[in-house]
Amino acid sequence: MTGAPVALRGVLLDMDGTLVDSEKVWEVALNDLMKHLGAPPLSTEARRESVGGSLDSSLRICFREAGRDPAAVPAGEYRQAGEWLYDRAGELFGQGVDWRPGALELLTALRAEGIPAALVTNTIRVLADRALVTMGHENFAAVVCGDEVSDPKPGAEPYRRGAELLGLDPAECVAVEDSPTGALAAERAGCAVLVVPCELDVPAGPRRVQRDTLDGVGPAELAAILAEVTARA
C-alpha cells in the first residue's frame, strides 16, 4: 500500500436491484412496452442485457427485439416509446417497491454515524422521486439520476457527480452496486465497489469486493472494503 490510508467519507448507492427490488418493476414495464410494440416479451438474454442500463439502451434493446433497426426508428416514435415506458414504470413505482435485504439497515447506520450517502441511478428523476417516497429523501445527501448526466452508467460520470455533490473524491467513497453495468461505472470513476449481485452475476475486478447480501453490512465493513481496495493499488 502506498501513502496514508484513505478514510471512508461517503457512500454512493445504486437504486434498482441494490436498495430496492425494482428490477422486477422494470421487467414488467419493458415487457408491456414490447406488447405495445406488437412484439412478444423480451428473451431472457435480452432482459439480462437491459439490467442496469439507461433509457436509451433499454429502448434500443426493445426495438431490436421487436425486429426493428433502432437507428432507423423515427425520432418521434422513439421518443414516444420512451415516454410510454416511463409512464408505465411510473404507475408500477407508484404502487411501492420492496427493500433489498439489509439495505434500509445500512442507510440507517450511515445516518447514525454521520456518513453521507448519495443515490446514483440510471433511472430518470421523476421515477427516482417516486421510489424515494419509499426509500426516504432524508436518507440521501444527494441524488444523481440518469437524465441528469450526459454519459450514464456504464460511464463514470454518474459516480463522479455523486462524489462531487458530497464534496468528496471518488477514492474516498465506496459505491454499492448489483450489476455489471453499474460496477463498471463505479470502478471507472475510481470508487471502491461493493458488489451485491441481484439479477446477474458480476465479474471480479481490481476495485471490487463481492458479498451475497447487504444483511449485516454497516459502515465498519464498508471502511474495511475501502481499505482493502486501496491496499491493492
Mean pLDDT of 11-18: 96
- Domain match, 109 and 207 both: yes
pLDDT reported for residue 5: 60
Alpha carbon distance 92, 130 (integer Å): 10
Report the 3 state secondary structure along 162-197: HHHHCCCCHHHEEEEECCHHHHHHHHHHCCEEEECC
- Is the pLDDT at 208 greater than 70, yes or no? yes
- Domain match, 145 and 157 both: yes
- Domain match, 118 and 184 both: yes
- Domain match, 17 and 28 both: no
Amino acid present at 149: V
Domain membership flag for residue 137: yes
From the list 166, 177, 170, the residue with the least C-alpha distance to 118 is: 166
Query: Does the reported pTM lie above 0.85?
Result: no
**What CATH number should be reported for the domain holding residue 66?**
1.10.150
In Å, what is the CA distance from 93 to each residue of 7, 29, 152, 226, 230? 36, 10, 21, 33, 37
Domain carrying residue 35 = 23-94
Count how many domains the chain has.
2
- Domain match, 139 and 163 both: yes
- Residues 169-182 have pLDDT tens digits of 999 999 999 999 99
- Is the pLDDT at 85 greater than 60, yes or no? yes
- Domain match, 62 and 143 both: no
Amino acid present at 53: G
pLDDT reported for residue 93: 82
Cell of 73: 426508428
**Domain closes at, from 50, 65, 94:** 94
- Domain match, 80 and 150 both: no
For the chain, the average pLDDT equals 93
Alpha carbon distance 178, 195 (integer Å): 5
Give 183's contacts (C-beta < 8 A, 6+ positions apart).
Answer: 175, 177, 193, 195, 202, 205, 208
Cell of 126: 421523476
**What CATH number should be reported for the domain holding residue 110?**
3.40.50.1000
Our measurement of the distance from residue 50's CA atom to the centroid of its chain's CA atoms, rounded to an integer in Å, reads 12
Q: Which helix (H) or strand (E) holds 48?
A: helix 44-50
Alpha carbon distance 184, 32 (integer Å): 29
**Domain closes at, from 94, 117, 134:** 94
Give the N- to C-terminal CA distance of the chain in Å, as an integer: 7
